[in-house]
Structures are given as C-alpha cells and as structure tokens.
C-alpha cells in the first residue's frame, strides 16, 4: 500500500476547507496565504480580476497594478489545482525586473509552503522554479505552473504557438500591440487549456490585460473600444476598470503611514504632470482613455472673445434695466 504524506507541515497547508472559503474571497486569500495588505481600491481591483474572465485594467501609473497582478496570478495558481498561467511582458527583461521580484519579496510561510515541483508520487522533484533562457517558471505543489516566456513579438509570438494555458496575464499590453500583432494573432488562442468549468467566473479561463490608458490614436484604442462595447451590451464575462493614484486612501498600511503617504509620491507626480501634455496626463496619470480629438474653438479665438468683452466693458445684468456696461 502506498501512503502519500504531504511534505508541507500541517499548519502551512492550504486545506480543502480553506480553498472552498478563499475561492470566493481573493482579498481574504491574499491576507491568509500571502499576508498581503492592500488598500481599499486594490482589494476591489483584485475582486474584479478574480471574478471577470476577460478584463482590461487601464489604471494610471503608481497604482500597484503589478503587485495585484502578481497576487492574482499566484492565488489562481494556489487555489485552482493544475492551473497553467502565462505572464507576458513586452520584453522578457522587464518581466524579470518587475513581476518576478515579488516572488522573492513574499516571505509568508503558508505561501512559501505552496511552492515546489512535485513528482508523480508527491515527492519533492527538484527546484521550485526554473530560469531558462526562453522562459522563467514557478512550480506549485498542486501541479499549477506559472510561466513567464520570452515572446518574440517581432515574429508575432509564433514561438508560443503550441502553448496551452488557463490564465493569460498581459502586462503593459498597449506597449505590445503598438509594435506587434502577436497578442491577437497568437496569444489569445493559447488560453484554451481545459478547465473545471468554462462557464464559471472563477474556474473559467481568464485573460487579464493591464496597462495605463493611451490616446485615441493608439492601436490599442480599438481593442479598448471593443471592451467598452461588450460591457455596454451587458456581457457578463467582460469588464474594464481604471484607477489612479488619487484612489490611495488615508488608511494606515503596514509601515504605520497611510497608503497615500506611502505610495502616492507627490513630487514625482507633480513633475510628470508638468512634463506630459494634458491628454497624455489624463491617459497615463489618471488612467482615462482619450478619444483622439482636436479643439473645436482654438484658444486664441476664446481669448479674443473675452478681450472683446473687456473692450466693451461688459458687466453682468440681472434685468433689462440694469447696467450692462461699466460706466
């Protein structure tokens, strides 16, 4: 008789009961498993990620997109067994430098206990992660796998043609579509790995795109408009969300300072606001997609109209008998 014993200590296991509870509350899961405290808007964002199979997040910079992405991807890997997740960045190096660093930062014991490459008889089988030239992988004890491949977008990501995954996380997707059609031509077709229930908002395969919003002339605007149309039609599988640095609250974070004081770096934001055009600022700073437009009334015309009013000494009137021009 084979007796399989989990190699994880009992107090660090994610039990079936925990999974059943945490599957419906990713925020609680992030706290219990990863000991991660999120600000209020980030908790809402994580829930959107969790329950909407096809989501676009256009939030502005400095809103913690990458961190929530990482939590979301890892929770799916831990709570959904045999989940294969793909994380795509516009360049491999940026993925290594930004996304992957969170694997080293999270020291929560329950989380660390979930990582590992297991053999068929449930024994440790080598390192929990692998760093190959073409992809970095993180293995989980429940047979889930998180892969960050090095996509060759110059060839429209054809090197990923045989890949099959359950969850696709497209980081900085607008930067990718600006130079390549790899997402639409290859990557979306990879999210076809069988799942437990493809009609369920959590179990279904997920596609999540994150990037700051862009101007209306950007190639990604057409894709964003597609999300807007689907949401307007009431498609329950689709959504788009956006947040900005203004959403940080005054709630205390783990350092004792408020989330706003800790993460809202006012001086940098001020510099960026000054250096970007108003349209670019609205897109990248505030996360608002801007339809490309040009002013209907040139500034000089409005100023001339006001100057005309000055010349005429205009003052407001409250009735026909009141004075309408300054004496």
Closest approach, Cβ 305 to another protein, in A, equals 4
109, 10 in Cβ contact below 8 A? no
Could you tell me the end-to-end alpha-carbon distance of the chain, in angstroms, rounded to an integer?
A: 107
155 versus 307: smaller Cβ distance to another protein: 307
- Angstrom CA distances, 95 to 145, 169, 215, stand at 16, 12, 24
**What's the Cα-to-Cα distance from 209 to each of 138, 238, 250, 290, rounded to whole Å?**
21, 11, 28, 18
- Under the binding rule (CB under 8 A), the answer on residue 197 touching another protein is no
Least separation in angstroms between CB 151 and another protein:
26
Q: For residue 258, what are the contacts with CB-CB under 8 A and spacing of at least 6? A: 248, 249, 250, 251, 252
Least distance to another protein, CB of residue 218, Å: 9
Alpha-carbon distance of 275 to 281, in angstroms, equals 9
**Of the candidate residues 91, 159, 216, 249, the single one contacting another protein (CB under 8 A):** 216
Per-residue tokens: 66: 């990458």
Residue 232 engages another protein in binding (rule: CB under 8 A)? no
Smallest distance, another protein to C-beta of residue 210, A:
24
CA angle 123, 126, 132 (to 5 degrees): 145
Nearer to another protein, 76 or 221 (CB): 221
User: 267 or 297: whose CB is closer to another protein?
Assistant: 297
* Residue (64 or 220) nearer to another protein, CB: 220
Query: Can you give the length of the chain in residues?
Result: 327
Least distance (Å) between residue 178 CB and another protein: 13
- Is there binding between residue 277 and another protein (CB under 8 A)? no
Closer residue to another protein in complex, CB, 188/228: 228
Q: Does 178 bind another protein (CB under 8 A)?
A: no
The residue range among 12-20, 58-66, 122-130, 319-327 that interacts with another protein, by the rule CB under 8 A, is: 319-327
Residue 252 or 309 with smaller CB distance to another protein: 309
Site track for another protein across 279-318, x = CB under 8 A: ---x--------xxxxxxx-x-xx-xxx-xxxxx-xxxxx
Cα-based torsion angle of the residue sequence 42, 23, 165, 144 in order, rounded to the nearest 10 degrees: 110
Cα–Cα distance measured from residue 43 to residue 284, given in angstroms and rounded to the nearest whole number = 21
CB 280 within 8 A of CB 95: no
For the bound state, the minimum distance from the C-beta of residue 303 to another protein, rounded and expressed in Å, comes to 8
Beta carbon nearer to another protein, 133 or 316: 316
Question: Least Å distance between CB 26 and another protein?
Answer: 34
Instruction: Choose which of 16, 104, 199, 321 interacts with another protein (CB under 8 A).
Output: 321
Q: List the structure tokens of 194.
A: 């069988």
- By CB under 8 A, residue 120 contacts another protein: no
* Minimum CB distance to another protein, residue 233 (Å): 20
Can you say how many angstroms the Cα of residue 118 is from the centroid of all Cα atoms in its chain?
30
Decide: is 324 part of the binding site for another protein (CB under 8 A).
yes
For the residues of 46-101, what is the DSSP string, one character each? HHHHHH-SEEEE---TTS-HHHHHHHHHHHHHHHSTT-EEEEE-SSHHHHHHHTTH
Size of the site for another protein (CB under 8 A): 35
Contacting positions for another protein (CB under 8 A): 216-217, 282, 291-297, 299, 301-302, 304-306, 308-312, 314-327
């Amino acid at each position: 008789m084979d007796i399989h014993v989990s190699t994880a200590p009992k107090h660090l296991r994610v039990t079936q009961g925990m999974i059943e509870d945490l599957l419906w509350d990713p925020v609680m899961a992030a706290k219990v498993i990863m000991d991660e405290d999120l600000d209020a808007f980030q908790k809402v964002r994580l829930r959107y990620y969790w329950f909407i199979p096809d989501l676009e997040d256009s939030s502005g910079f400095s809103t913690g997109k990458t961190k929530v992405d990482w939590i979301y991807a890892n929770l799916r890997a831990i709570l959904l067994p045999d989940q294969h997740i793909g994380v795509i960045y516009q360049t491999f190096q940026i993925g290594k430098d930004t996304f992957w660093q969170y694997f080293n930062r999270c020291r929560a014991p329950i989380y660390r206990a979930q990582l590992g490459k297991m053999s068929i008889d449930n024994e440790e089988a080598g390192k929990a992660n692998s760093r190959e030239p073409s992809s970095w992988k993180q293995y989980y004890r429940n047979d889930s796998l998180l892969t960050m491949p090095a996509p060759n977008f110059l060839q429209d990501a054809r090197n990923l043609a045989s890949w099959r995954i359950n969850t696709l996380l497209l980081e900085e997707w607008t930067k990718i579509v600006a130079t390549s059609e790899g997402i639409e031509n290859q990557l979306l077709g990879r999210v076809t790995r069988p799942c437990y229930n493809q009609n369920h908002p959590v179990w279904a395969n997920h596609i999540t795109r994150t990037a700051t919003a862009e101007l209306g002339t950007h190639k990604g605007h057409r894709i964003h408009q597609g999300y807007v149309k689907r949401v307007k039609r009431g498609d329950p599988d689709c959504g788009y969300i956006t947040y900005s640095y203004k959403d940080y609250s005054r709630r205390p974070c783990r350092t004792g300072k408020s989330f706003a004081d800790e993460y809202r770096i006012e001086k940098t934001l001020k510099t960026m606001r000054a250096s970007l055009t108003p349209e670019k600022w609205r897109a990248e700073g505030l996360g608002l997609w801007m339809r490309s437009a040009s002013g209907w009334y040139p500034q000089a015309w409005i100023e001339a109209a006001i100057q005309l009013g000055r010349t005429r000494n205009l003052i407001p009137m409250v009735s026909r008998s009141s004075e309408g021009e300054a004496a």
